């Protein structure tokens, strides 16, 4: 269940967001138009928005952008947004919300790498009762968010007492939007669930509902370079791990288990503050709220953020096929000059001297299908970081706490992250000659270690 608008009090009036001027202020006594009166069984709902405001207000009014990521990556999103000078607010598990103008929203949409979805909110805090919700939806300016000729569909998430199935909720909202167009003497744009140009995002919870527009009509994890491995780490998750590990610091980046190269590629892009893409979806530019966005100026802002890599990165793996996929991925991402690819098992990997501290960010094997020799691989990783990473850090993703004991290290920070449906942890270990260490070996008796679990995102 989604946790939208958890802080809203029951009966509090919903807030229309900002495709139109705000509703009229509350009447005497400070009571808002939608507040519940004593003795009344139902809320009055929303007042119709005023239509006589200046058109320019639509183009400059703040918008609310809700960014979604894998559960546990909320601190990563907040750190990435802070690099844009934006202060986000929590919007529930796996989501943050920012308020910004259309041009800044476009900048964030292009630049943020750790988000899996980006939704421009139209209204939040709507009543969950179908009758009241239907009246509220008919008052929203759908013609400003669903342009003529752009196919659309509905994506519902969460549950409410009267909306227990997402398919039913999607059909219900589709019909409600069509009725809103018909009530104004208009014809709704065509609905195309198979290939929509826009998605209407419908979030439900016991406390209320929220609607918004997803201009990408899908996930943001795909990059310009096509995937080159059968089971890669998702790009948005890899970018979030890089932000959690603070790969944007002046450090040398190393991945001794690089696999297909997704993690090292995203870590280098985070360190360079490279934008996720440079193209806005065509449907976004069709929205009146974004019609005045100067895309060239937005791109110049993205170029101004980029910076050189502090030191050449290193990616290593013992699998020749994985290394070929990594080289191809780096080439397509334009990072082949930034990363040196080394064919080597972790126990034999030697790092050249570097004055900067080293951050080893890696995703070693931790699943059943790689169970043969997996314990020895983790022992080798522990020996390697003590030999090569003095004064640096190791940030390792693992879905099996038993395996981390083979490192013989004590973690400073742990971040639980959902990776491919598995609750894993990103453990960060400081490596220093004076820091006391555990001796690597088999787990202690009574540690509760269980069998390895199947990872959803191992490279």
Q: pLDDT tens digit string along 167-196?
A: 999 999 999 999 999 999 999 999 999 999
- Cα radius of gyration (the chain): 25
Is 51 part of a structural domain of the chain?
yes
pLDDT digits (tens, 9 = 90+) for 400-428: 888 999 999 999 999 999 987 888 999 99
**pLDDT exceeds cutoff 90 at 5:** no
Q: ∠ CA(126), CA(132), CA(134), 5° rounding?
A: 85
Of 157, 182, 214, which marks where a domain is finished?
A: 214
Structure confidence at residue 47 (pLDDT): 36
Structure confidence at residue 237 (pLDDT): 95
pLDDT digits (tens, 9 = 90+) for 431-448: 986 444 444 454 444 433
Residue with tokens 């998750």: 237
Burial of 356 (0-12, 13-18, 19+ CB in 10 A): middle
What single string gives the DSSP state of each residue in 96-146?
EEEEE-HHHHHHHHHH--S-SEEEEEEEEEE-SSHHHHHHHHHTS-GGGTS
Same domain (yes/no): 277, 392: yes
Is 310 part of a structural domain of the chain?
yes
Give the pLDDT band (50/70/90) at residue 450.
very low
- The separation between CA 233 and the C-alpha centre of its own chain, rounded to angstroms, equals 14
Structure confidence at residue 92 (pLDDT): 82
Mean pLDDT, rounded, for 153-157: 95
Ranked by mean pLDDT, the top range of 1-10, 352-361, 363-372, 443-452 is 352-361
Percent of the chain residues topping a pLDDT of 70? 78
pLDDT digits (tens, 9 = 90+) for 128-148: 899 999 999 999 999 999 999
Same domain (yes/no): 292, 384: yes
pLDDT digits (tens, 9 = 90+) for 283-321: 888 899 998 899 999 999 999 999 999 999 999 999 999
Domain ranges, residue 191: 15-22+45-69+116-214
Contact 166, 156 (CB under 8 A): yes
Same domain (yes/no): 200, 240: no
pTM of full prediction above 0.85: no
Same domain (yes/no): 399, 303: yes
pLDDT digits (tens, 9 = 90+) for 324-361: 999 999 999 999 999 999 999 999 999 999 999 999 99
Q: What is the distance between the alpha carbons of residues 313 and 254, in angstroms, rounded to a whole number?
A: 6
Is 440 part of a structural domain of the chain?
no
Structure confidence at residue 39 (pLDDT): 38
- The separation between CA 139 and the C-alpha centre of its own chain, rounded to angstroms, equals 31
Same domain (yes/no): 53, 133: yes
Same domain (yes/no): 200, 247: no
Residue in 117, 106, 63, 116 with CA at minimum distance from that of residue 300: 106
- Residue 203 sits at φ, ψ, to 5 deg, of -105, 130
Q: For the chain, how many structural domains are there in total?
A: 2
Mean pLDDT, rounded, for 204-226: 86
Residue with tokens 């299908």: 369
Mean pLDDT, rounded, for 121-131: 92
Residue in 345, 347, 407 with CA at minimum distance from that of residue 379: 407
Structure confidence at residue 225 (pLDDT): 60
**CA dist list (Å): 156 to 16, 153, 199, 459:** 19, 10, 10, 31
**CA dist list (Å): 210 to 101, 150, 169, 202:** 20, 22, 12, 6
Determine the 3-state secondary structure of 89 from DSSP: strand
Determine the 3-state secondary structure of 377 from DSSP: helix
- Across-strand partners of 212? 121, 201
Determine the 3-state secondary structure of 393 from DSSP: strand
Q: What CATH number does residue 64 fall under? A: 3.30.2130.30
Q: What is the distance between the alpha carbons of residues 157 and 93, in angstroms, rounded to a whole number?
A: 13
Is 221 part of a structural domain of the chain?
no
Ranked by mean pLDDT, the top range of 86-90, 207-211, 270-274 is 270-274
Same domain (yes/no): 128, 276: no
Report residue 21 as tokens.
């001027």
Q: ∠ CA(292), CA(123), CA(296), 5° rounding?
A: 20
Q: What CATH number does residue 394 fall under? A: 3.40.50.150
**Crossing angle for the helix pair 235-244 and 262-272, to the nearest 10 degrees:** 60
Is 336 part of a structural domain of the chain?
yes
**pLDDT exceeds cutoff 90 at 150:** yes
Same domain (yes/no): 56, 166: yes
Contact 339, 277 (CB under 8 A): no
Same domain (yes/no): 187, 268: no
Contact 198, 152 (CB under 8 A): yes
Is 30 part of a structural domain of the chain?
no
Same domain (yes/no): 350, 243: yes
Same domain (yes/no): 52, 157: yes
Of 161, 179, 214, which marks where a domain is finished?
A: 214
**pLDDT exceeds cutoff 80 at 236:** yes
Structure confidence at residue 401 (pLDDT): 86
Mean pLDDT, rounded, for 365-376: 70
pLDDT digits (tens, 9 = 90+) for 55-113: 333 334 589 999 999 999 999 999 999 999 998 988 788 899 999 999 999 999 999 99
Report residue 59 as tokens.
């183009």
Residue in 199, 305, 211 with CA at minimum distance from that of residue 4: 211
Is 105 part of a structural domain of the chain?
no
- The separation between CA 165 and the C-alpha centre of its own chain, rounded to angstroms, equals 25
Residue in 431, 429, 368 with CA at minimum distance from that of residue 404: 429
Is 284 part of a structural domain of the chain?
yes
Same domain (yes/no): 272, 203: no
Give the helix/strand (H/E) hosting 422: strand 422-430
**pLDDT exceeds cutoff 50 at 115:** yes
pLDDT digits (tens, 9 = 90+) for 387-403: 999 999 999 999 888 89
Structure confidence at residue 109 (pLDDT): 93
């Amino acid at each position: 269940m989604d946790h939208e608008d958890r802080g809203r009090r029951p009966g509090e009036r919903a807030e229309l967001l900002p495709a139109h001027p705000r509703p009229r202020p509350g009447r005497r006594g400070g009571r808002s138009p939608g507040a519940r009166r004593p003795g009344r069984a139902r809320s009055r709902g929303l007042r119709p928005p005023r239509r006589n405001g200046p058109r320019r207000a639509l183009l400059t009014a703040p918008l609310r952008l809700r960014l979604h990521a894998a559960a546990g990556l909320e601190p990563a999103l907040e750190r990435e947004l802070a690099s844009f000078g934006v202060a986000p607010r929590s919007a529930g598990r796996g989501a943050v919300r920012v308020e910004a103008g259309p041009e800044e929203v476009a900048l964030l949409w292009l630049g943020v790498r750790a988000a899996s979805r980006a939704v421009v909110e139209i209204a939040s805090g709507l009543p969950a009762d179908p009758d009241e919700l239907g009246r509220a939806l008919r008052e929203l300016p759908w013609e400003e968010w669903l342009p003529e000729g752009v196919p659309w569909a509905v994506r519902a998430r969460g549950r409410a007492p009267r909306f227990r199935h997402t398919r039913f909720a999607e059909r219900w909202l589709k019909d409600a939007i069509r009725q809103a167009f018909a009530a104004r003497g208009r014809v709704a744009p065509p609905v195309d669930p198979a290939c929509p140009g826009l998605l209407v995002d419908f979030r439900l919870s016991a406390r209320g509902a929220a609607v918004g527009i997803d201009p990408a009509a899908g996930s943001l994890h795909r990059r310009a370079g096509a995937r080159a491995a059968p089971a890669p780490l998702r790009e948005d998750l890899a970018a979030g791990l890089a932000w959690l590990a603070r790969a944007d610091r002046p450090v040398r980046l190393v991945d001794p288990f690089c696999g297909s190269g997704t993690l090292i590629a995203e870590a280098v892009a985070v360190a360079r503050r490279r934008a996720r893409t440079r193209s806005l979806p065509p449907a976004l530019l069709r929205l009146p709220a974004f019609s005045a966005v100067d895309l060239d100026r937005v791109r110049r802002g993205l170029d101004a953020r980029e910076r050189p890599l502090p030191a050449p990165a290193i990616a290593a793996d013992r699998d020749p096929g994985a290394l070929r996929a990594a080289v191809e991925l780096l080439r397509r991402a334009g990072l082949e000059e930034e990363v040196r690819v080394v064919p080597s098992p972790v126990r034999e990997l030697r790092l050249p001297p570097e004055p900067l501290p080293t951050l080893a960010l890696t995703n070693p094997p931790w699943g059943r299908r790689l169970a043969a020799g997996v314990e020895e691989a983790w022992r080798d990783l522990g020996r390697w970081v003590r030999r090569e990473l003095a004064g640096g850090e190791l940030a390792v993703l693992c879905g099996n706490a038993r395996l981390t004991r083979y490192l013989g290290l004590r973690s400073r920070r742990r971040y639980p992250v959902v990776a491919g449906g598995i609750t894993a942890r990103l453990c960060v270990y400081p490596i220093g000659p004076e820091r006391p260490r555990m001796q690597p070996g088999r787990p202690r008796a009574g540690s509760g270690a269980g069998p390895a679990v199947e990872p959803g995102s191992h490279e």
